[in-house]
Amino acid sequence: MKRSQRQTVPAGTPRTNRLSDAPSAVNAAFDEDAHDSLTALRSFVAPEDLSVVFQPIIDITSGRTFAYEALVRCRVVEYKNPIRLFEKAVELGCAGRLGRMIREIGVPHGSGKPLFVNIHPKELSEGWLVRPDDPILSHDDDVYLEVTESVPLSHYELCMSVLKEVVSHVGVHLVVDDLGAGYSNLKRISDLEPKVVKLDRDLIMGLDRSRRQQELVTAVVDLCRRLGATVVAEGIETHDEYSAVLDTGTEYGQGFLFARPSFPPPEVSFPPAAETTSVRKIRG
């Protein structure tokens, strides 16, 4: 459902995926904690070092682009890996501010389609998402907040409370990400009641070569549907994986076979281009 009443990027606004030129949703002064967290963030990464790219999530039957996922990129060599970037932010107590900065960069440039945004569990306990001026509330379409299933939520009850408050807004939905990566707690899906569940690449890789794996994924897809969640298969890289995912009843997919993350949001290759040996080599 479109949310046309929400703010979009004004006509003529330069298209850039860096914060230094992107419209900011925040002009009012931050409170003392927010100021301290911004200072901590700037101690290891400058705003202009961060950018956002987009990868499409498609209906794997029709090829229609359903949504885009916003993915952070960092020019600082030590923090090019987003996991390491957030580990440092958690260490310095500024994970919430980092997440907010990423949303300030990415959300204005994801207009016209639903947008998937990654949320670190620490952001929930820090309460950044409940600020009334958060960029997700100005997006002109639905927003899907991805919470990684394999990372334990500290202060679980508090995080659950924050999630429920955030998704109470019209057009904001919860996504359980990385199901199948590492320790997987299926009860988490029941507790969180997500709108979408994303199957990790670990479940998709080699799916075409293992009947038992196909049966497992098919069962997981069926379970998610019974719990009211739509399923997205992540990391589809080959035609054989794509065909195997189709056979499991999965509705949506994401991966290099269709489009690499880029800025501006890329067009989808569908039907997927002819198989090449370079697909796996360029992954990363």
Q: Is residue 274 part of a domain?
A: yes
Domain assignment of residue 60, given as a range? 46-281
Q: What percent of the chain has pLDDT over 70?
A: 79
268 burial (CB, 10 Å; 0-12 / 13-18 / 19+) is middle
Q: Can you give the pLDDT at residue 146?
A: 92
**Tokens representing 274?**
């002819």
Question: What is the sign of the dihedral through the CA atoms of 207, 210, 215 and 219?
Answer: negative
Of the candidates 152, 144, 161, 151, the residue with the CA atom closest to the CA atom of residue 230: 144
Q: What angle do CA 217, 220, 224 make, to 5 degrees?
A: 140
Which of the pair, 140 or 273, is modelled with greater confidence? 140
Torsion of CA 225, 121, 205, 222, to 10 degrees: -10
Q: Can you give the pLDDT at residue 147?
A: 86
- CATH number, domain of 146, equals 3.20.20.450
Q: Can you give the pLDDT at residue 284?
A: 36
Residue 8 predicted with pLDDT over 60: no
Is the CB of residue 189 less than 8 Å from the CB of residue 197?
yes
Q: Is residue 52 part of a domain?
A: yes
Number of domains in the chain: 1
Residue 246 predicted with pLDDT over 80: yes
pLDDT, one tens digit per residue, over 102-150 is 999 999 998 899 999 999 888 887 888 888 899 999 999 999 999 876 5
14 burial (CB, 10 Å; 0-12 / 13-18 / 19+) is exposed
Q: Is residue 12 part of a domain?
A: no
Residue 280 predicted with pLDDT over 80: no
Is the CB of residue 259 less than 8 Å from the CB of residue 272?
no
Q: Is residue 2 part of a domain?
A: no
Looking at 1-15, 49-63, 174-188, which range is the least confident one?
Answer: 1-15
Which of the pair, 196 or 161, is modelled with greater confidence? 196
Task: Provide the 10 A C-beta neighbour count for residue 62.
Answer: 9
Of the candidates 85, 83, 63, 66, the residue with the CA atom closest to the CA atom of residue 74: 85
Q: Is residue 201 part of a domain?
A: yes
Q: Can you give the pLDDT at residue 208?
A: 95
The CA R_g of the chain, rounded to the nearest whole Å, is 19
Q: Can you give the pLDDT at residue 24?
A: 43
Q: Can you give the pLDDT at residue 255?
A: 96
Is the CB of residue 30 less than 8 Å from the CB of residue 133?
no
Task: Report cis status (omega within 30 of 0) of the bond before 271.
Answer: yes
Q: Is residue 22 part of a domain?
A: no
Q: Provide the pLDDT confidence category of residue 88 given band limits of 50, 70 and 90.
A: very high
Which of the pair, 196 or 182, is modelled with greater confidence? 196
Q: Is residue 229 part of a domain?
A: yes
Q: Is residue 19 part of a domain?
A: no
